[in-house]
Amino acid sequence: MEKEEFNELLKNANLSKKEFANILDINPGSLNNWGSSQNIPYWVKSWLENYIKAKDIDKIATTVKPYIKID
């Protein structure tokens, strides 16, 4: 993954690099090196894509919850 795609996925996830580093429990300085002096780890793309999907599903669940009747 290229640095531009990484930055776009972070934007779509509504995460800053610092927030992403905190979620992963890694040093923000290390994350800032991704795409320049270090390759972006292979798993980051799928992780961010799944994070975005999970946020979308949470929005849907919150929206429909008041209309679901549980007996």
CB 44 within 8 A of CB 1: yes
DSSP string, 7-51: HHHHHHTT--HHHHHHHHT--HHHHHHBTTTBPPPTTHHHHHHHH
pTM above 0.85, yes or no: no
Give the C-alpha separation, 42 to 34, whole Å: 11
Domain carrying residue 21: 3-67
How far apart are the C-alpha atoms of 37 and 51, rounded to whole Å?
25
Condensed to tens digits (0 to 9), the pLDDT of residues 31-66 reads: 989 988 889 999 999 999 999 999 999 999 999 988
Count of domains for the chain:
1
